[in-house]
Structure formats: C-alpha cells, structure tokens
Structure 1
Amino acid sequence: MEYPINASPRLLFPYLASASGLAQWFCDDVRLDPDHRFNMVWDKQNHYAEIALQRPGRSVRYVFLDEKKQPLSDANYLDFSLEYSKITDGVFLRVTDYSDHGNDQEQQELWDGLVGKLREQVGG
C-alpha cells in the first residue's frame, strides 16, 4: 500500500524506526529490550520484532519473532519505506505487511486508520 504524506522523510523516519515514534501511532506501546528487540503491544498482548533491514532515512523492516523472542521460519514482517516523487514533489509511505491476516478489506481499513494517525502526528 502507498500513502502520500505531506512531511519530509527526515521528519517521518523516526516515527517508523524508533520505539517512541511507533508508540505514537502504530500500537498501544512499544518497548525496546536490552537486546534491541522491539516489544510492540496491542490489546495488552506482546508481539516481539527485530529490525532485519534498515536504510537510515529511507526504509526499515521489522521481522516478528515468537513469544521466546526467537526467529520463525517464514516469519511475518512489516516493511516501511519512504519514496520521494520528483514528478509530484511529494513523499509517499509504502507499507508492505506480510502477515497471515486473511481479510484484505480489513487489512486496508486498518492501515488507512494507522496512517491517518501518523499524518495527525506529523501534520501531513
């Protein structure tokens, strides 16, 4: 999914790649443990992830772990990347959500709402 956002990549990236930034729009709470794994909390349930790939200021990929914070085969992941269009002079957030959520319509509505919250945070 791609979303236009009226904010610079420099302003946006911390909201995508830091625990404090993610906690403002993405989930109920995010904590970073001493091993630099993220504990993302939704509805009082812990979901552990680690950054698998990061290009500072451009993209970040979170790979989700099991409840013992261990990697899974064919793990769910979430990829955020920022794209700049010279044609429109705009910034786009591309979201790749590789998970086993079955309903595409619900998934689209979820991301539309989350990105709406992000836009409120960054004023874009």
Structure 2
Amino acid sequence: MSISLPVTGAKRRFVVEYPMNASPKILYPYLASAQGLSQWFCDDVRYEPDRRLNFIWDQQNHYAEQVSQRLNRSVRFVFLDERKQLVADASFLDFSLEASEITDEVFLRVTDYSDSMDEDELREMWDGLVGRLRDQVGG
C-alpha cells in the first residue's frame, strides 16, 4: 500500500508499507544503526559527533540526526543543511515496524519526506532498497 500526500512547498510525504518475514528484533538493528543501514540503505553510514550520522551515496555526504527511536518499533532521521544544522521543514526518513499479534505478520512502514520526486520513481527506489534489506535478513 502506498499513500502519497502533497504538502506545501517542494516537499512530498511518501508512505509505503512492506510485509517482512523477520521479527522486529531482527529488523530493528538494520534500521537504526550505522552498520545495519550501510548493509542495505546506502553506500556507507558513519557516526559523527553529537548523535549525527553521515549517510554516503555516490561519494556524497548527507548528514542527519536521529531525533526519535522506540526500541524494535521505530526510528526517525532528520536531514541537516550544509552546515550540519537542523532547519525548518527538513527532509526526514521514518522507519516503523508493526507486528500483528493475530497473524504474526510484520510490516515495515517507510515515510520519506523529501524534495518532490515522481511517485513511481520513489516506489521503484524503495522497492529496490527494501528488496536489499530482505536479502540481508533472509525474508
């Protein structure tokens, strides 16, 4: 299921959910740690001072701050400007894990709030990334 809600300005909130064949305890480290994220999400992730992370794609640095987390449930990264400062209406990524007690299904919900991009391109990008994550966790 995918929901894309336009917002004011050039940013867009894109939400997509994926069924996962792994428990939240197995998935969470892949979503919330530099080591886990670097295995599926981008070329490399490095910890920086002051709870900041450096996400590296195509040899370009993208700094973010982890602003919230709930163990085995969710994590949010807010991206910083060129001076590594928080700004109003900043881009963010939110990963949430939902487990159904009735069916034992686990879903990964990705919320990508970023500069406007074609919804089909976003879906294709996230399908590929989550496919890599599934390869890592065996499901």
TM-score, scaled relative to structure 1:
0.97
How far the C-alpha of 1:101 sits from its partner, in A, is 3.1
Aligned residues: 124
- The question of 1:107 aligning with 2:122 is answered yes
State the Cα deviation string for residues 45-76 of structure 1 (Å, max 9, x = none): 10000111111110000000012110011000
Determine if contact 1:16/1:22 at 8 Å carries over to the other structure: yes
1:39-78 aligned within 5 A: 39-78=54-93
Cα distance in 2 for partners of 1:34, 1:48 equals: 11
Q: Are 2:44 and 1:22 aligned?
A: no
Paired with 1:87 and 1:56, the residues of 2 have a C-alpha distance of 21
- Give the counterpart letter for 2:48 in structure 1: D
1:59–1:79: 8 Å Cα contact kept in structure 2?
A: yes
Distance in 2 (alpha carbons) for counterparts of 1:32 and 1:93:
24
In structure 2, distance between residues paired with 1:120 and 1:102: 26
Q: Which residue of 1 aligns with 2:22?
A: 7
- After TM superposition, which residue ranges in structure 1, 4 or more long, deviate above 3 angstroms? none
Q: Please identify, of 81-90 and 59-68, the stretch whose mean Cα deviation from structure 2 is larger.
A: 81-90
18, 31, 50: which one aligns with 1:35: 50
Query: Once superposed, what is the RMSD of the aligned Cα atoms?
Result: 0.8
Gaps of 5+ in 2: 1-15
